[in-house]
C-alpha cells in the first residue's frame, strides 16, 4: 500500500502544533491498550459511511487508526489478515459534542501476540525498530522462488583477488628470469680417451677409398669440447663472399634482401672475440697467472747478510710487507724471501739430528727444516699484520712411496712435515715455504735451491693432495669435505704414477692431468694409447713467464720390436698436448717411453720450432732434449 502524501507546513509553529497533537493521540492510544475496555455499542444508523468494511457482520470493527509509514498485519476472526497502514496524516475530526456521553466506544478486536508487541512498541515513523518488527509475519509464509545456484554466473573477482593474482604472476616471472641468468655453461671436458681395440691393416681397396673420401678413413681423435685458453678453438671458417645486393625489383610481399655492406669482416669478429675472452678470463684473479715480479724483486732486496741484529723479524716485516697493501702480496713477499735466504738443513735431516731453534737463529744461520721454515714464515707474517698459523701433519715429499694397487694405507704415524695457513681476502690460504724454496736430490743427498711457486699458487684442494694435517679442521677445502687418512694416502689414482721431472713443472705442465696415469703400460694390449696432458692454467704461456717461444714436445718411442727409436711430435692447441700411438709401436717390455722437450736443433735454440720443421731437419744436424715424463713398458 503506497504511503499518503505528507502534510505541508508554512511555519515552524504549525509543525510544533501538529507534533503536539500527535503526542496526545499516541498517549491516548497507548492508554487504551493498557486496560480492557467494554465492548462499544453498535454505531448509530445515521452514519453508515463511517462503518468499516469487515468480513464478519456479527461483530463491528473499531474506527480505523491513523495512517503511518509502517504496515502491520492483524488477524480477523475468519482467519484472514488485514493490513493497517500508518502514515503521517491530518488528525481525525473531533467527536460530536452532542453525542450521548453514556455510550461507550465499541471494544477493539483481540490482537495476536505478534501484533501486540508491535503496537506496544509503537514509535514515530522515523524509527527503524518498528519497520523491523512490522516486517515479521507468522501467519503467511510464501515458498522461496526456484533457484539453482549452479546455474548462476560466477561472480567477478574482487580487486584484492586481482592484485594477488597479478603479484603471483610477477613473482613467477622474476624467478624464472633469475634462474636463467644464474645458469652457467658447463666447464670444458678433457679430451676423450681412445678406445682400446686392435688396429686392422688397411687393404688396397680401403686405402683407395680413403684417398677419395678423407672423412671416411681413420680420424685423429681431437678434444671434443672447446678448451678455455690461448688458441683453444680452431680457426674460424672463411665465409664465401656474399656479393652485392640483388638489383632486381622485389615482388609484392617479398622480404627485402639482407644488407651485406654492414656485415663485419672476419678480422673484426676475431678482434671482438679476443677482447671478450680477455675480459672474461681476468688473469689478475688467477694466482698462477698473476704478475708477482714486483713482489719477488722486493723480496730479493733483503739478503740475509745485510740484516740488522736487533729486531730482525720487525725489520723484515717492514721491508718485505711495508710497500704493499694487499695481503696476497705480503704473503708472497715472505714466501719468496724464504727461497732466497733459507736452505734446507740436509745434514741434520739425514743424520737424524734435527733440533728446534728460535726464529732469529734460523734467519741468521740460513739453515732449517720444514718446521723452521713454517715458524719463520709465521713470525714475519704476524709482525706484518697478517693472521697466520703453523699446520703440522704428513707430506708426500722425499722418501714417500706410493700405495700399490689393492694395498691398504698404513696407519697414520707421527707428524713429518709442517706448513702454513695465512688469512688472505676472506679465507685461509695454504702455503709451503719449505717445498717452495727447493727440493732434495736423492742421489747426492743435497739441497737444490730451485724456486717452486706452485706451493704458493696452488688451490687448497690441490695442495691437499700432498699435505694431510693432523687436525682435520686445517684442510680448508673449497667443497667443505674432510678427507680421511685412507683417501688421502691412496690419492686420486691407485698405483704408481709416471715419473714427472722438474723440467715439466718449469714449462707449466699440470702433473695431475698426465695420461696414462699408470706408470706401467702393457705393450700387448693391441690398441691405441693416448698420451696427453695440459697446462696448469688456461692463461699460462711461455712468453708470459719469460721462457720465450713455446717449445716442441716429442714422444720418444722404441718402435715395434724395440729396435727402431724415433720421436713423434705431439699435437697441441696451446693448452692441451696429445698424441695417439699403437701399443706395439711403443717397444717391448723392460723399455721406457718418455715425453721430452726439444732444446737444440742444428746447434740452435729449438724454441718455436714446429713439428713439420723438426721432421724435415732431424737428420741434418745434432739434436738435444730434456725429459719431462717417463713411463715403463711391461
Let me know if the fold of 287-495 is the same as that of 496-634: no
Q: What is the mean pLDDT of residues 283-292?
A: 77
Q: Where are the alpha helices (DSSP H) in 35-144?
A: 113-120, 128-134
Give the pLDDT confidence score for residue 36 in this predicted structure. Answer: 55
Grid cell locating 237? 671458417
> In sequence order, what E strands does 109-173 have?
none
Joined grid coordinates for residue 184: 652457467
pLDDT at residue 349 above 70? Answer: yes
The pLDDT mean for the chain works out to 75
Q: What percent of the chain has pLDDT over 70?
A: 62
- Helix/strand/coil percentages in the chain, nearest 5: 30, 15, 50
φ/ψ bin of 313: left (φ > 0), alpha (ψ from -120 to 50), beta (otherwise): alpha
Taking only the tens place, the pLDDT of each residue in 35-75 is 556 666 666 655 444 444 444 445 556 666 655 544 444 44
Q: Between 438 and 51, whose confidence is greater?
A: 438
pLDDT at 286: 85
Angle at 451 between CA 447 and CA 457, to 5 degrees: 130
Domain 287-495 has CATH 3.10.620: yes
- For residue 320, give the C-alpha cell: 718485505
Please say if the pLDDT value at position 200 is more than 50.
no
Least confident of 140-149, 223-232, 304-313, 426-435: 223-232
443, with CB counted inside 10 A (0-12, 13-18, 19+), is: exposed
Which of 42-56, 260-274, 322-336 shows the lowest per-residue confidence on average (mean pLDDT)? Answer: 42-56
CA distance 575 to 547: 16
Residues composing the chain: 634
CATH class of the domain whose range is 496-634: mainly beta
Say how far apart CA 88 and CA 69 lie, in whole Å: 7
Q: What is the pLDDT of residue 334?
A: 98
Residue 592 contacts residue 555 (beta carbons within 8 Å): no
Cα-Cα-Cα-Cα dihedral sign, residues 395, 401, 405, 410: negative
Distant-in-sequence, close-in-space partners of 142: CB < 8 Å, separation ≥ 6: none
CA distance 62 to 52: 8
The residue-averaged pLDDT of 532-561 equals 90
Bigger pLDDT: 213 vs 525: 525
Can you state the angle between helices 312-321 and 327-341, rounded to 10 degrees? Answer: 120
Is residue 421 a contact partner of residue 474, using CB atoms and an 8 Å limit?
A: yes
pTM: 0.54
Q: Is residue 440's pLDDT more than 50?
A: yes
Q: What are the boundaries of each domain within the chain?
A: 12-92+105-134, 287-495, 496-634
Alpha carbon distance 523, 194 (integer Å): 15
Amino acid at each position: 500500500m503506497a504511503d499518503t502524501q505528507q502534510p505541508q507546513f508554512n511555519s515552524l509553529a504549525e509543525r510544533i502544533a501538529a507534533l503536539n497533537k500527535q503526542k496526545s493521540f499516541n498517549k491516548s492510544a497507548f492508554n487504551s491498550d493498557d486496560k480492557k475496555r467494554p465492548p462499544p455499542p453498535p454505531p448509530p444508523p445515521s452514519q453508515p459511511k463511517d462503518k468499516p468494511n469487515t468480513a464478519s457482520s456479527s461483530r463491528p470493527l473499531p474506527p480505523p487508526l491513523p495512517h503511518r509509514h509502517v504496515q502491520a498485519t492483524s488477524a480477523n476472526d475468519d482467519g484472514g489478515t488485514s493490513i493497517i497502514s500508518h502514515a503521517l496524516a491530518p488528525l481525525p475530526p473531533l467527536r460530536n459534542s452532542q453525542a450521548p456521553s453514556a455510550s461507550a466506544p465499541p471494544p477493539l478486536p483481540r490482537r495476536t501476540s505478534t501484533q501486540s508487541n508491535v503496537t506496544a512498541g509503537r514509535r514515530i515513523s522515523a524509527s527503524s525498530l518498528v519497520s523491523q518488527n512490522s516486517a515479521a509475519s507468522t501467519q503467511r509464509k510464501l515458498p522461496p522462488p526456484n533457484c539453482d545456484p549452479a546455474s548462476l554466473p560466477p561472480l567477478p573477482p574482487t580487486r584484492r583477488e586481482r592484485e594477488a593474482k597479478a603479484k603471483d604472476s610477477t613473482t613467477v616471472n622474476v624467478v624464472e628470469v633469475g634462474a636463467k641468468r644464474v645458469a652457467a655453461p658447463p666447464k670444458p671436458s678433457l679430451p676423450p680417451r681412445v678406445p682400446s681395440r686392435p688396429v686392422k691393416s688397411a687393404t688396397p681397396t680401403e686405402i683407395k677409398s680413403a684417398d677419395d673420401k678423407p672423412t671416411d678413413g681413420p680420424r685423429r681423435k681431437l678434444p671434443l669440447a672447446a678448451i678455455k685458453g690461448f688458441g683453444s678453438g680452431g680457426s674460424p671458417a672463411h665465409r664465401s663472399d656474399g656479393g652485392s645486393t640483388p638489383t632486381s625489383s622485389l615482388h609484392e610481399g617479398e622480404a627485402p634482401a639482407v644488407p651485406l655492406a654492414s656485415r663485419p669482416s672476419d678480422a673484426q669478429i676475431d678482434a671482438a672475440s679476443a677482447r671478450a675472452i680477455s675480459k672474461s678470463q681476468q688473469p689478475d684473479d688467477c694466482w698462477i697467472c698473476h704478475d708477482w715480479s714486483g713482489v719477488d724483486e722486493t723480496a730479493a732486496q733483503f739478503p740475509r747478510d745485510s740484516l740488522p741484529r736487533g729486531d730482525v723479524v720487525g725489520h723484515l716485516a717492514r721491508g718485505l710487507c711495508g710497500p704493499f697493501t694487499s695481503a696476497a702480496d705480503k704473503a708472497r713477499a715472505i714466501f719468496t724471501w724464504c727461497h732466497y735466504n733459507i736452505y734446507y738443513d740436509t745434514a741434520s735431516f739425514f743424520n737424524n739430528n734435527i733440533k728446534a731453534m728460535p726464529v732469529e737463529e734460523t734467519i741468521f744461520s740460513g739453515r732449517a727444516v720444514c718446521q723452521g721454515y713454517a715458524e719463520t714464515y709465521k713470525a714475519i707474517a704476524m709482525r706484518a699484520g697478517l693472521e697466520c698459523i703453523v699446520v703440522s701433519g704428513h707430506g708426500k715429499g722425499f722418501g714417500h712411496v706410493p700405495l700399490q694397487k689393492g694395498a691398504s694405507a698404513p696407519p697414520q704415524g707421527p707428524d713429518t712435515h709442517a706448513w702454513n695457513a695465512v688469512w688472505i681476502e676472506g679465507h685461509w690460504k695454504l702455503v709451503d715455504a719449505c717445498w717452495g724454496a727447493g727440493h732434495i736430490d736423492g742421489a747426492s743427498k743435497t739441497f737444490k735451491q730451485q724456486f717452486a711457486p706452485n706451493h704458493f699458487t696452488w688451490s687448497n684442494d690441490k695442495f691437499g693432495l700432498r699435505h694431510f694435517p693432523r687436525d682435520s679442521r686445517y684442510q680448508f677445502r673449497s667443497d667443505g669435505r674432510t678427507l680421511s687418512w685412507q683417501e688421502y694416502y691412496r690419492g686420486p689414482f691407485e698405483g704408481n704414477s709416471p715419473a714427472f721431472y722438474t723440467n715439466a713443472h718449469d714449462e707449466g705442465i699440470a702433473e695431475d692431468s698426465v695420461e696414462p696415469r699408470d706408470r706401467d703400460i702393457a705393450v700387448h694390449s693391441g690398441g691405441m694409447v693416448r698420451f696427453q696432458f695440459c697446462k696448469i692454467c688456461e692463461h699460462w704461456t711461455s712468453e708470459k713467464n719469460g721462457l720465450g717461444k713455446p717449445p716442441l714436445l716429442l714422444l720418444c718411442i722404441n718402435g715395434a720390436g724395440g729396435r727402431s727409436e724415433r720421436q713423434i711430435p705431439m699435437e697441441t692447441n696451446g693448452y692441451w698436448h696429445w698424441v695417439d700411438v699403437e701399443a706395439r709401436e711403443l717397444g717391448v717390455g723392460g723399455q721406457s717411453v718418455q715425453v721430452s722437450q726439444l732444446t737444440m736443433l742444428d746447434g740452435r735454440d729449438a724454441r718455436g720450432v714446429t713439428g713439420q720443421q723438426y721432421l724435415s731437419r732431424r737428420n741434418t744436424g745434432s739434436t738435444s732434449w730434456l725429459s719431462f715424463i717417463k713411463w715403463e713398458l711391461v
